[in-house]
Copies of this chain bind each other. A is one copy, B any other.
Amino acid sequence: MVERRKPIPVSEAVKRVMNYPKQGEVEFVSLQDSDNRYLGHDLAAAHDVPPFDRSPYDGFAVRAEDTSEASANSPIALEVIEEIGAGAVPKYEVKKGQATRIMTGAILPKGADAVVMLELVKEVNRDKKDFIQLKRSFQSGDNISFQGEDVKKGTPLVKKGTKITPGVKALLATFGYAKVPVVKKPVIGIYATGTELLDVNEPLQSGKIRNSNSFMIEAQIKRAGAIPKYFGKLADDFEPCYEAIKEALEEVDFLITTGGVSVGDFDYLPAIYKKLHAEVLFNKVAMRPGSVTTVAVLGEKVLFGLSGNPSACYVGFELFVRPLIKSYLLSEKAHLLKANAVLKSDFLKPNPFTRFVRSAVLIEEGKLVVNPTGLDKSNVVTSLAEANSLIMLPGGTRGFEKGSAVEVLLLEEEGSRSTWE
């Protein structure tokens, strides 16, 4: 007798999973190793930027009042008393009739209140002294980058849960974070189930195929920002599966299994959840592919039972595992980013349930357009390799024609604050 399961809507399934958020602790890593990690604390300016009044140009620091009479017809002359390179500290105060040669980024000497650009002066030497001649006047404050004008000490800059990009790294370096507080990555266990599975280095055998799902999921886990821990393959055999899964749960934050969640004779995952006393959040989702995707909870651990079919497995990961990982990492953009796009080719299958179509989004004339990648038999094998998105077609709709407006979930984008229906 085939078990009858009641399907729930995809959005409801996502919500049920997100009811079990777990947040990562903070650990410190070196700035150099912090790429693509998620900030563990809010980041505020540790000091003013610029940290001192400085020159934005190569030029001369002067007292503006000394220049008030300067004009093309009667240039004034100022004695150059010092030269300050970037990083040097001025020795002398600029006094009446004096100027200091100053390099871009160098600290403004005491007494000076304006900078004259190199191109606007004529340098002359008289009586073994250096002078500049100036043909126009300057106002106090001209060409000075003032301390704190970019940002004041204490100003909030970047929120915790932000992914560390090259630009964020520059900020961290500026404020002296040799060690960066980041969210510890969750460890996601993987077991591939199925007697038919060969290891990647085994030659093909009659009736068997190579395990590809676990490698794909490892890559998806890394892309989402977590650490995969592959435990191996499990043959379709209840007791060893049960023991293996029970032990693996001790070592991970979440556990993914592939295969074994359907209602066939060799689908043992449902019975394993039962024996573990795990609470099944759902075991049927009104979607294609992956309707048998099952999620169960045991204490703080979430068990993801993904389909053994590669496409269903891929989609199940992105829909249900990924947002929980991002939420663990404190990301405010935990959800897949949903966008509108124009369908570039007919997709004429009817959609009794919500359908997720592997697809490639492109930008044309500033608009998103999307092509299904697995439409023809000829590219079903490469459809995941070419996909950067999933077209989401609502259940209860008929086919969609070329030019139709559709919704897509973008897999390579960081994500979205809001969940989607």
A residues sitting closer than 8 Å to B (CB atoms) are 2, 31-32, 35, 45, 47, 49-52, 58, 83-90, 101, 103-107, 118-119, 149-151, 157-158, 162, 164-178, 194-197, 199-204, 206-220, 222-223, 230, 235-236, 262-266, 308, 310, 314, 337, 339-342, 363, 365-368, 377-378, 380-387, 405
Contact = CB atoms under 8 A, between A and B. Distances in A.
Contacts of A223: 35, 165-166
Copies of this chain per assembly? 2
A188 to B, nearest CB: 13
A385 B174 contact: no
Nearest to A382: B157
Contacts of A84: 207
Contacts of A308: 104-105
A337 B363 contact: yes
Contacts of A377: 149-150
Contact of A236 (B2, B32, B85, B107): B85
B167 A105 contact: no
Given A170-B212, A171-B382, A173-B215, A206 B52 contact: yes
Contacts of A119: 2
Contact of A171 (B166, B265, B381, B405): B381
Q: Specify which of A170, A314, A377 lies most central, judged by the most chain B CB atoms within 10 Å of its CB.
A: A170
A235 to B, nearest CB: 8
Contacts of A199: 178
A378 B151 contact: yes
Contacts of A384: 166-167, 170-171
A405 B366 CA distance: 9
22 contacts: A35-B223, A49-B381, A85-B266, A87-B194, A105-B209, A150-B377, A150-B381, A151-B378, A157-B385, A165-B219, A165-B223, A167-B386, A167-B387, A169-B216, A170-B314, A170-B384, A171-B382, A171-B384, A173-B210, A174-B381, A178-B199, A366-B405
A172 B211 CA distance: 11
